[in-house]
Amino acid sequence: MKSSAYQQAGVDIDLATNLLNSVKSKISSTRRPEALAPIGGFGGLFQIDLTKWKQPVMVTSIDGVGTKLMVAAMCDKHDTVGHDIVNHCINDIAVQGAEPVYFLDYIGIGKLRSPLYENVLIGIADACLAQNVTLLGGETAEMPGMYGDDYDLVGCITGIVEKDDIITGEKLKPGYIALGLDSVGLHTNGFSLARKVLFDKAGLTVESKPAELEGKTVGEALLEPHRCYWPAIKEAMDKKLPLDGIAHITGGGLYDNVPRILPEGVAAEFDASTIETPAIFKLIGKLGDIDKHEMYRVFNMGVGMVWFMPESAIDQAIAICKKHKIGARVVGRLIEGNKTSSMLNVN
pLDDT of residue 126: 98
* DSSP-assigned letters across all residues of 138-152: EEEEE-TTTSTT-EE
Tell me how far apart the alpha carbons of residues 76 and 59 are, in angstroms, rounded to a whole number: 34
Nearest to 96 by CA among 186, 181, 158: 158
C-alpha closest to that of 254 among 274, 225, 232: 274
Model confidence pLDDT, tens digit, residues 92-108 = 999 999 999 999 999 99
Nearest of 136, 179, 130 to residue 41 by alpha carbon = 136
Mean pLDDT, to the nearest integer, of 239-261? 98
Q: Are 326 and 232 in contact (CB under 8 A)?
A: yes
pLDDT digits (tens, 9 = 90+) for 22-41: 999 999 999 999 999 888 88
pLDDT bracket for residue 296 (50, 70, 90): very high
Max CA distance (Å), the chain: 73
Using DSSP bridges, classify how beta strands 99-109 and 245-248 pair: parallel, antiparallel or unpaired: unpaired
Q: Which of 100, 135, 165 is the last residue of a domain?
A: 165
| Strand arrangement of the beta sheet that strand 99-109 belongs to | 56-64, 151-162, 99-109, 134-142
- Claim to verify: residue 157 and residue 38 sit in the same structural domain: yes
Q: What is the pLDDT of residues 113-126, one digit of tens each?
A: 999 999 999 999 99
Task: Look up the domain containing 321 and give its range.
Answer: 177-344
Q: Please indicate, yes or no, whether residues 133 and 76 belong to a single structural domain of this protein.
A: yes
CB count within 10 Å of CB 212 equals: 14
Instruction: Give yes or no: residues 147 and 11 share one domain.
Output: yes
User: Are 141 and 206 part of one and the same domain?
Assistant: no
Cβ neighbour number for residue 324 with a 10 Å cutoff: 18
CA distances (Å), origin 3, targets 7, 22, 132:
6, 22, 41
Q: What is the CATH number of the domain that holds 142?
A: 3.30.1330.10
User: Could you read off the pLDDT of 182-209 as tens digits, one per residue?
Assistant: 999 999 999 999 999 999 999 999 999 9
- Does residue 138 sit in the same domain as residue 194? no
Q: How many CB atoms lie within 10 A of CB 336?
A: 10
Flag whether 73 is in a domain. Answer: yes
257 burial level (CB within 10 Å; 0-12, 13-18, 19+): buried
Whether 1 shows a pLDDT value over 80: the answer reads no
Cβ contact 195:71 at 8 Å: yes
Give the global pTM. 0.95
